């Protein structure tokens, strides 16, 4: 059966309905894209096999990588060279052992212990944003006032961005990640952020401080361009996911008042609820899970040949009936941390502990401080980012 890909979501609370049909058909489904055919992985077991397996590459330079199949025309040599230069330090696209060189440097910055040290700062930022919302009246737009602002300010704290630069940093981040209808504005803001980070690294290099950037500089293991690329990657990967998840998660809890009441009565369940929200929404669906086979192998009973591209459908795998009981139901008591919202294997999201801490603090504090929070429009009137690489809502108007 012919499939269309990518498929847009039509509901804030569910992946595309086509995913269920594909998942029933087979663990791997073949689709035709403008630049060639690729495999879609629909089930959890096979998703984990691909994401953790040998004989699989994530590097876009590997022949057959599915990233290029999405393009109607292959890039020119000049375009490839420009993309390669821009991607220096983007270790998410590197295979071992080069990937490990970057990851080993960053692992100490994202441990559970390090996140405990960061929690007071995240709490302070959360409270300040809620103070601002409350000071402006009895209504707000949650994406702009809370979702976009929180991770931007947290990453500033993490990187040691000077306080006087935070307004510029936050405004450009907002432009880069929320101009869905004007990609030129988004690209221009991205370049401004890159230039800002280049200047920040240059400024800090002579006297590095006691923060993430300072410690990376002091390691002496990264070039200037690699440092800029790593910081840029941490910003984009860490910002857009959390910025999309927080308003979407808040909406979900407002639409499930019984489960929100459970969390209010049992605050110790918030970490479990955060994981369920991550599984349930899977806002990073296929965009970070693009792979290519570097040797012939069997996946889900299907022969995948060397040079064939693969997209793992995270939002489908996280609704797999074989792995999750009643997968389409939202249940804060589920306790299913074996989802792939953060990926799996060697490329599993480095910042997952930070994302969990941000979501837990943001949501718990929001509903503690504004117990009467409610959405002011029906679900069908909420504008969705259906065409973006990471799913989310463009606006969530609320009142209290």
pLDDT of residue 181: 60
- If one counts the domains in the chain, the total is 1
pLDDT of residue 179: 57
For the sheet containing 290-293, what is the strand order?
Answer: 28-33, 36-41, 309-312, 290-293, 56-57
Q: For the whole prediction, is pTM greater than 0.75?
A: yes
Which regions in the chain score pLDDT beneath 70? 1-3, 177-181, 386-388
Classify residue 10: in a domain, yes or no. Answer: no
Classify residue 113: in a domain, yes or no. Answer: yes
At residue 207, the 3 state secondary structure works out as: coil
Q: Count the helix, strand and coil residues of the chain and give each as a percent rounded to the nearest 5.
A: 55, 10, 35
pLDDT of residue 169: 77
Runs of H (alpha helix) within the chain: 17-25, 44-52, 77-86, 98-106, 112-135, 142, 149-159, 166-178, 183-204, 212-219, 224-254, 257-265, 270-281, 314-317, 352-369
Per-residue pLDDT tens for 75-112? Answer: 888 988 888 888 899 999 999 999 999 999 999 999 99
Contact status, residue 314 vs residue 349, Cβ threshold 8 Å = no
Distances in whole angstroms, Cα of residue 26 to Cα of each of 187, 253, 292, 306, 335: 38, 33, 19, 20, 27
For the sheet containing 139-141, what is the strand order?
Answer: 139-141, 397-399, 374-375
d(CA 150, CA 169): 12
d(CA 193, CA 196): 5
Measured from the Cβ of residue 99, the count of other Cβ atoms closer than 10 Å reads: 17
Classify residue 11: in a domain, yes or no. Answer: no
* Domain harbouring 380, CATH code: 1.10.630.10
In this structure, what token pair is assigned to residue 148?
């976009």
pLDDT of residue 166: 77
d(CA 336, CA 318): 10
Q: What is the DSSP letter of 395?
A: -
Phi, psi of 38 (to 5 degrees): -140, 165
d(CA 135, CA 369): 13
In this structure, what token pair is assigned to residue 265?
């009565």
Classify residue 8: in a domain, yes or no. Answer: no
pLDDT of residue 1: 41
| CA–centroid distance for 327 within its chain | 21
Classify residue 283: in a domain, yes or no. Answer: yes
Question: Would you call 59 exposed, middle or buried from its count of C-beta atoms within 10 A (0-12, 13-18, 19+)?
Answer: middle
Range of the domain at 264: 17-399
Classify residue 12: in a domain, yes or no. Answer: no
Per-residue pLDDT tens for 216-263? Answer: 999 999 999 999 999 999 888 888 889 999 999 999 999 999 999 999
| Crossing angle (nearest 10°) for helices 112-135 and 352-369 | 30
Query: Under 8 Å CB-to-CB from 397, ≥6 apart: which residues?
Result: 139, 140, 141, 142, 375, 376, 377
């Amino acid at each position: 059966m012919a499939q269309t890909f990518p498929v847009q979501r039509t509901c804030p609370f569910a992946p595309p309905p086509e995913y269920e049909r594909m998942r029933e058909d087979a663990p791997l489904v073949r689709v035709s894209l403008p630049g060639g055919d690729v495999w879609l992985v629909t089930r959890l077991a096979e998703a984990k096999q691909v994401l953790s397996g040998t004989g699989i590459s994530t590097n876009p330079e590997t022949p057959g990588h599915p990233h290029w199949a999405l393009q109607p025309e292959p890039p020119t040599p000049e375009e490839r060279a420009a993309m390669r230069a821009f991607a220096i330090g983007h270790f998410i696209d590197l295979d071992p052992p080069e990937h490990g060189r970057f990851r080993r440097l960053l692992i100490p910055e994202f441990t559970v212990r390090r996140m405990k040290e960061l929690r007071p700062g995240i709490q302070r930022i959360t409270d300040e944003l809620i103070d601002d919302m409350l000071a402006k009246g009895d209504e707000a737009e949650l994406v702009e006032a809370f979702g976009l602002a929180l991770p931007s300010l947290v990453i500033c704290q993490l990187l040691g961005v000077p306080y006087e630069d935070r307004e510029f940093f936050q405004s450009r981040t907002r432009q880069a990640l929320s101009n869905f209808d004007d990609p030129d504005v988004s690209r221009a803001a991205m370049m401004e952020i890159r230039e800002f980070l280049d200047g920040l690294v240059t400024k800090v290099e002579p006297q590095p401080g006691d923060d993430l950037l300072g410690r990376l500089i002091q390691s002496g293991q990264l070039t200037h361009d690699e440092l800029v690329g790593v910081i840029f990657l941490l910003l984009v990967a860490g910002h857009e996911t959390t910025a999309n998840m927080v308003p979407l998660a808040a909406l979900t809890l407002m639409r499930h008042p019984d489960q929100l009441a459970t969390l209010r009565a049992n605050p110790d369940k918030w970490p479990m609820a955060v994981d369920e929200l991550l599984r349930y929404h899977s806002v990073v669906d296929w965009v970070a899970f693009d792979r290519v086979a570097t040797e012939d192998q069997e996946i889900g009973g299907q022969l995948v040949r060397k040079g064939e591209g693969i997209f793992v459908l995270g939002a489908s795998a996280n609704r797999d009936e074989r792995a999750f009981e009643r997968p389409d139901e939202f249940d804060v008591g589920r306790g299913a941390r074996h989802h792939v919202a953060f990926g799996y294997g060697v490329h599993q999201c480095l910042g997952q502990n930070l994302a969990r801490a941000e979501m837990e603090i943001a949501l718990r504090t929001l509903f503690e401080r504004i117990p009467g929070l409610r959405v002011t429009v029906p679900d069908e009137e909420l504008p969705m980012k259906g065409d973006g690489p990471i799913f989310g809502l463009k606006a969530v108007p609320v009142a209290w």
